[in-house]
Amino acid sequence: MRSLRQRLQRIGVVASGLVLAALAAAGGDGLVRHGSFEAADAQGQPVGWSIERRAEVEGRAELVPQARHGRQALHLVHANDKGLWVRASQDHIQARPGARLRFSGWVKAEGTWEVWLYEFLPDGTYKTIVLARGQRTDWQRLRQVVTLGPETRRLKLSLIARPRSEAWFDDMRLDDLDGPARLRVPLLAAAPALDGDLTDAAWSGAAVVDDFLRLGGAGEPASQATRVRLGVADGRLWVAWECSEDRLDEQRLSAAPGWGDDTVEVFLGEPGQAALHHLGVTPAGAALSQVIEPEGGTAYAIDWFSSQTRRDSAAPPELLPCVGAARRGEGRWTAEMAIDLRGRGRPGATWRLQLARSRKVADLEENSTWTLTPGERFLQSERFGHVVMASPIAAPSPERLVAAPPFEAPRQARVVPAPRQCRWTGADPLALAGRVRVASRGAATAAARDLLERVLGQDLGLAVERVEAPLEAIEQHAPALGILKRL
């Protein structure tokens, strides 16, 4: 049995690593933590959100399965005429002063609802921005781009149900448009069927990207919605596209498919490689692929329906194997891509990714991307997102399995007052029993905080109390935080 000192040291190292990993690969909800409402605490309330209502208000906040995406959504109910609201808020959201932020989310309501963003200034005052408000609605997409003031210190996001109203919220996001987009691509339960039909259950656990922006860098949304799902299965990156289109009959499609057609496109940079893989699919299901050298020249290109190749160098780089399929339906077209990544990139490495749509109908061309991209070209690698691909974990061989030792109830010790000043008697190492206050600041610390709470609570037998306090209060108690402070 390892000593308590060794276990605490390991916690510190692992938690610090998680902080770094979160900084490098955080992306699920952008600046907002748990904006998809898939995680609940011991009381069934949404993790990362505080629920606010006055005593005279009849209302509640709950996680329910009536979600727009995923398993759960947040449901706020304000059942009487008392008070101003029932609201769920997330405070201490970190953002750069002067940053351009994109807010997005989904709402469904019976009655009046609102979404507010508070900008806190150095003198303790704040500005209120109403991001969205409305009345009764089925699921409605929310989008807004705001520019923060030059002295903004932190943000608070509030979701509100007004008196005699109820509202459902899902997929709340705040993204810094000028910073690199980050995404973690999860493992899918199974490989989807490659047929252009996106109703396959395998897509249910995929990462989702939408809110495409027009080229030019102004932050204008594309005129036609584009939604992309990504996942890893069988050593391949699977990409599903859902493209709204109100002019399907005018889509530009040629007899010999090429990049001049209406296309959806993936730019993918391998870890440690300068060249980029450029992959695409047309509404007719034609898969296109080429390798782009760092200078921007094409080294090798091939389209799926032709044996023709084009070489600008004697030794063309190896193309990523890619196959695609597409379907056209009422007011939209869909596509699927399977990109073979076997043998490429080490687990946990960061890839460069851009998702793009080149909409071409009749004489109109509208180009849009996942990340904010200035100029008139997709190929601006400094604006690509940073992506980490999930890797399957191999099952251990039977001969390496060993039986776990029998459980021994922990004895007790006392913490006085910092975790490094633990005293106990006896020759054997002891687990602790008592209460520990866990405080953190910054979005990137959430993963480390969750790990510490789990290990301190489940492994060491402590009653763990999460401190929800202003940053000033956390700093005031810093001497008592010990190892937590060093994260």
164 with 212, same domain? no
Contact 89, 157 (CB under 8 A): yes
Q: What are phi and psi of 397, to 5 degrees?
A: -70, 150
Contact 188, 43 (CB under 8 A): no
479 with 439, same domain? yes
State which of 176, 207, 238 marks the end of a domain. Answer: 176
232 with 162, same domain? no
Residue 426 has pLDDT above 80, yes or no: no
**DSSP notation for 357-394:** EEEEETTEEEEEESS--BSS-S--GGG-EEEEE--PPP
pLDDT tens digits for range 143-164: 888 999 999 999 999 999 999 9
207 with 305, same domain? yes
Name the residue with higher pLDDT: 428 or 386.
386
- Residue carrying structure tokens 């989702």: 208
**Of the candidate ranges 108-112, 202-206, 442-446, the one whose mean pLDDT is the lowest:** 442-446
Q: Is residue 107 part of a domain?
A: yes
pLDDT at position 115, please? Answer: 98
**DSSP notation for 40-83:** B-TTSPBTT-EEE--TT--EEEEEES--SSSS-EEEEEE-SSSS
227 with 94, same domain? no
Q: Is residue 111 part of a domain?
A: yes
380 with 312, same domain? yes
pLDDT tens digits for range 17-52: 333 333 333 345 579 999 999 999 988 899 999 999
Q: Is residue 169 part of a domain?
A: yes
From 216, 206, 276, select the one nearest 242 (Cα to Cα).
206
Q: Is residue 89 part of a domain?
A: yes
Q: Which amino acid is at 51?
A: I
State which of 334, 357, 389 marks the end of a domain. Answer: 389
Q: Is residue 271 part of a domain?
A: yes
448 with 476, same domain? yes
What would you report as the CA-atom Rg of the chain, rounded to the nearest whole angstrom?
A: 25
Residue 138 has pLDDT above 50, yes or no: yes
From 259, 261, 260, 224, select the one nearest 243 (Cα to Cα).
224
Contact 59, 86 (CB under 8 A): yes
From 299, 310, 302, 311, select the one nearest 274 (Cα to Cα).
299
Q: What is the spatial distance between Cα 403 and Cα 394, in angstroms, rounded to a whole number?
A: 19
Give the mean pLDDT of 75-93. 95
Give the mean pLDDT of 423-430. 47
Contact 96, 125 (CB under 8 A): no
State which of 148, 176, 204 marks the end of a domain. Answer: 176
pLDDT at position 147, please? Answer: 93
pLDDT at position 301, please? Answer: 45
pLDDT tens digits for range 177-219: 888 888 889 999 999 999 999 999 999 889 989 889 999 888 8
Average pLDDT across the chain, whole number: 79
Which run of H or of E encompasses 89? strand 86-93
From 108, 102, 107, 152, select the one nearest 128 (Cα to Cα).
152
Token readout for 293 is 């050298």
Q: Count other C-beta atoms under 10 Å from residue 458's C-beta.
A: 10
282 with 306, same domain? yes
Token readout for 232 is 């890893």
Contact 413, 374 (CB under 8 A): no
pLDDT tens digits for range 300-332: 444 444 444 454 444 556 888 999 999 999 999
pLDDT tens digits for range 266-292: 999 998 888 899 999 999 999 999 998
Burial per residue of 156-179, b for 16 or more beta-carbon CB atoms within 10 angstroms, e otherwise: bbbbbbbbebbbbbbbbbbbbbeb
Percentage of the chain with pLDDT > 90?
52
Contact 305, 353 (CB under 8 A): no
Whether pTM exceeds 0.75: no
What CATH number does residue 64 fall under? 2.60.120.260
Measured in whole angstroms, the distance separating CA 204 from the mean position of its chain's CA atoms is 15
Percentage of the chain with pLDDT > 70?
70
323 with 417, same domain? no
438 with 359, same domain? no
Give the mean pLDDT of 240-246. 96
233 with 291, same domain? yes
pLDDT at position 455, please? Answer: 64
pLDDT tens digits for range 460-487: 556 666 655 555 554 554 444 443 333 3
Number of domains in the chain: 3
Q: Is residue 400 part of a domain?
A: no
Contact 238, 198 (CB under 8 A): no
Q: Is residue 397 part of a domain?
A: no
At 343 the three-state DSSP class reads coil
Q: Is residue 143 part of a domain?
A: yes
**Residue 87 is part of which domain span?**
31-176
62 with 202, same domain? no
pLDDT at position 108, please? Answer: 97
Residue 438 has pLDDT above 80, yes or no: no
Residue 408 has pLDDT above 90, yes or no: no
Q: What is the spatial distance between Cα 352 and Cα 386, in angstroms, rounded to a whole number?
A: 5
What CATH number does residue 372 fall under? 2.60.40.1190
- CA distance to 117, 367, 375, 419, per residue, from 280 (Å): 38, 14, 21, 54
